[in-house]
Structure 1
Amino acid sequence: MENIAGTKARLTWAVNLAALLLVIVWTVPTLGLLVSSFRDKDQIAATGWWQAAFPSTQSDFFRAGTAADQKQEGDLWVIAGNAFEPGQVISAWGTTSKAPDALKPGDVADLKDGQKLTVAADGAYRLTSPTQFEEGRGMRIFFTSTQPPKFTTDNYVKVIGAEGLGRAFLNTMTVTIPATLIPILIAAFAAYALAWMDFPGRSLIIAGIVGLLVVPLQLALIPLLKFHNDIGLGKSYLGIWLAHTGFGLPLAIYLLRSYMTGLPREIIESARVDGATEFHIFRKIILPLSFPALASFAIFQFLWVWNDLLVATVFLGNRPDQLVMTGVLRELLGSKGGDWEILAASAFISIAVPLIVFFSMQKYLVRGLLAGSVKGG
């Protein structure tokens, strides 16, 4: 026994190290998403989130003013301006894309027809010509600039102020709460029957439920939607509640049954000897003792339904009065989905409610998942 105990002690460091690595793997991307949610689009495109606290280097171009902006100063015609933000500093510039860093701030570039161009370190440019500038687009000025670290809450303001987000939040709550409670109610009755009641075909039903755990829900979307249309449900809240209930029941029944089979048999038998009915045993004994398992499944189901987009799109629709939060955020990102700063802010806004649910019920999660793992029936 001493050798076994010693072996466990020597392996403790490996377990702790593995747990630490898992925490890092999950925490670092979340931290990066949080940092990105406070950065603007240009900085996200230029540098990674881990460089957010340092100045960033950006290569781009801007156009000088046109002939409409020229002013006469003595014998020269001048177009002047500044397209940069305060704090942005140019380290090099050029007049062609082949040599975007050929000149330093303050240098003068000789252009055609006696024109001259100079760009200062703060981005102020001055284009001069002995004759009037002709109409046309402003010339391109290429530059390499250094931008100071910048954090903003504009991303959150844009997401929170998005049209229809408040209605989408209510729609999401309307979908999520019943779609969490209904499968729990049905699964609790089914799990008790499969755990403590003897009837023909029980083993086959349990095997079928285990098999349903590995069936992708995408396979059932179209047949189920067709069935809903045939019976008159169509795209409605009742239809999506039933869809989420069907998709969540296999895991709910499996999880609750595993927990209930681990409850002390003596309590159940004593209640039956005292004349308690199956319903009274279920309501007075099983449900109170099974609360950790019920809470753990409620967390899973709530998170799944809250973050769902596919099932909501198929069974509810895309009208403005039907969109859930994930649908509104998808519309906000646009068809190309390139607004990473909006995506990051949207992610943290959308997980606010699930985090509240998770932390309020997390003490039951591990107890509910691990119960029944040693003893099963």
Structure 2
Amino acid sequence: MEGMAGTRSRLVWAVNLAALLLVLLWTIPTLGLLISSFRDRDQISASGWWKAALPAEQNVIFRAPPPETAVPEGAAWVLDGNVFGEGGGSVAAFGLSAREPKAFAPGDTATGRAGDTLTVAGDGAFRITYPQAPEAGRGDRIFVTTTTPPRLTLENYETVIVAQGLGRAFLNTFTVTIPATVIPILIAAFAAYALAWMRFPGRALILACIVGLLVVPLQMTLIPLLRLHNAIGLDKGYLGIWLAHTAFGLPMAVYLLRNYIAGLPREIIESARVDGATDFEIFRRIVLPLSFPALASFAIFQFLWVWNDLLVATVFLGNAPDQLVMTGVLRELLGSLGGEWEILAASAFVSISMPLLVFFGLQRYLVRGLLAGSVKGG
């Protein structure tokens, strides 16, 4: 017995560690995306998101003004300026060549090949001194290693929501997702109750057809369904995409809810019928309240699927600017702003924020509804 108890304890620890590892694998990238969405382009290019709380070090090549702009000062000619221009920053080191960009500390004096000297202060102010009047030409290159204090900004979110049209796409996605989640739940709940507790000819055949529809690839139905929409006058609009998402989500919804409803205590249903309750009253007053975990489980899956959908939205809604959903906008941003990671990070996190809220808000019903719907039958 002691050996069995010890083995079980080790198994519990192994399961807990594995679950913790899976949680970390899912959470760490999301955390990195969130932090990156508040950083600007220079910070993202200078350091990883895990160093967001530390000063960022970056190598910058600054081109000094032309030598002929130097002004005489005593026997020498002097050229003053600031490597940061009107902005601010801190210089960690500087150099005269790409091979040694950190050869000198702030405040040191570096001597060039022509005898000119360069001094760069910690605040970026530099002073170039020429022993004689310099000839006209290009300004000297100054290799500067800067340190920028950590800074978080909301400018990325302002850009994607206002300038990039993600705010309008967010509303469009809501307009598509809410009805496309509610409509199949309503239809599937009625159908599931009928298949679970009502007796009528062909019930088993209907259930078999529903199970068979679960394995039909969505992509095979797009062209026939689009032709049907065009034949009956449903142009690309919200009504068409609501019906499409309803059709694609109904088989899973009916199957899941039917298994759950069929597992409800038979005594409750029969007692209600003895008391004279109709099927609609039993469904509304008994079945629906008891089936809330299964309804919430399907609502999570349907919401996440419709919210993250791109293919169905492209086929049945179109690509007009006033019709684009968030996945469509993200696709265009990825093509036009592929190098601006701060904009893409903010856009991606705006896109996943609502699914995260829905999942964490209803997660307590998810496992209970799925387990009950998978092991019970009638």
Q: TM-score, normalised by structure 1?
A: 0.83
Supply the distance in 1 between the matched residues of 2:109 and 2:216 (Cα, whole angstroms).
Answer: 68
State the Cα distance separating 1:140 from its structure 2 match.
3.9
- Pairs within 5 Å for 1:104-119: 104-105=105-106, 106-111=108-113, 117-119=118-120
Q: Which residue of 2 aligns with 1:72?
A: 71
Supply the distance in 2 between the matched residues of 1:367 and 1:89 (Cα, whole angstroms).
Answer: 58
**1:333–1:342 Cα contact (<8 Å) kept:** no
SS in structure 2 opposite 1:288?
A: helix
Residues 314/115 of structure 1: CA separation in 2 closer, same or farther (3 Å cut)? farther
- Pairs within 5 Å for 1:135-154: 138-154=139-155
Supply the distance in 2 between the matched residues of 1:127 and 1:109 (Cα, whole angstroms).
Answer: 10
Deviates more, 1:139-148 or 1:196-205: 196-205
Supply the distance in 2 between the matched residues of 1:65 and 1:223 (Cα, whole angstroms).
Answer: 67
State the Cα distance separating 1:237 from its structure 2 match.
0.4
**2:330–2:348 Cα contact (<8 Å) kept:** no
Supply the distance in 2 between the matched residues of 1:283 and 1:87 (Cα, whole angstroms).
Answer: 66
**1:93–1:141 Cα contact (<8 Å) kept:** yes
Residues 133/271 of structure 1: CA separation in 2 closer, same or farther (3 Å cut)? farther
Q: Which residue of 2 aligns with 1:185?
A: 186
Residues 283/145 of structure 1: CA separation in 2 closer, same or farther (3 Å cut)? same
State the Cα distance separating 1:244 from its structure 2 match.
1.5
Gapped runs of 5+ residues in structure 2?
Answer: none
Q: Which residue of 1 aligns with 2:289?
A: 288
SS in structure 2 opposite 1:373?
A: helix
Supply the distance in 2 between the matched residues of 1:162 and 1:104 (Cα, whole angstroms).
Answer: 42
**1:59–1:143 Cα contact (<8 Å) kept:** yes
**1:109–1:118 Cα contact (<8 Å) kept:** no
Residues 83/210 of structure 1: CA separation in 2 closer, same or farther (3 Å cut)? farther
Q: Which residue of 1 aligns with 2:322?
A: 321
Instruction: Name the Cα RMSD after superposition.
Output: 3.4
Q: Which residue of 2 aligns with 1:16?
A: 16
Supply the distance in 2 between the matched residues of 1:171 and 1:366 (Cα, whole angstroms).
Answer: 30
What do residues 223-266 of structure 1 show as CA deviations (whole Å, max 9, x unaligned)?
43343233322210011111221222222122212211211123
Pair 1:47 & 2:56 matched = no
SS in structure 2 opposite 1:57?
A: strand
Pair 1:93 & 2:95 matched = yes
Supply the distance in 1 between the matched residues of 2:204 and 2:2 (Cα, whole angstroms).
Answer: 42
SS in structure 2 opposite 1:152?
A: coil
**2:92–2:146 Cα contact (<8 Å) kept:** yes
Supply the distance in 1 between the matched residues of 2:141 and 2:112 (Cα, whole angstroms).
Answer: 15
**1:176–1:306 Cα contact (<8 Å) kept:** yes
What do residues 268-315 of structure 1 show as CA deviations (whole Å, max 9, x unaligned)?
344445555444433333222212211221122223323333332332
Supply the distance in 2 between the matched residues of 1:222 and 1:81 (Cα, whole angstroms).
Answer: 65
- Pairs within 5 Å for 1:310-349: 310-331=311-332, 335-349=336-350
SS in structure 2 opposite 1:141?
A: strand
**1:32–1:49 Cα contact (<8 Å) kept:** yes
Pair 1:253 & 2:265 matched = no
What do residues 154-202 of structure 1 show as CA deviations (whole Å, max 9, x unaligned)?
3233334436444333322221111111111121122223333455554
Pair 1:158 & 2:179 matched = no
Residues 125/225 of structure 1: CA separation in 2 closer, same or farther (3 Å cut)? farther
Supply the distance in 1 between the matched residues of 2:336 and 2:288 (Cα, whole angstroms).
Answer: 47
Q: Which residue of 2 aligns with 1:32?
A: 32
Supply the distance in 2 between the matched residues of 1:36 and 1:45 (Cα, whole angstroms).
Answer: 11
Supply the distance in 1 between the matched residues of 2:149 and 2:333 (Cα, whole angstroms).
Answer: 28
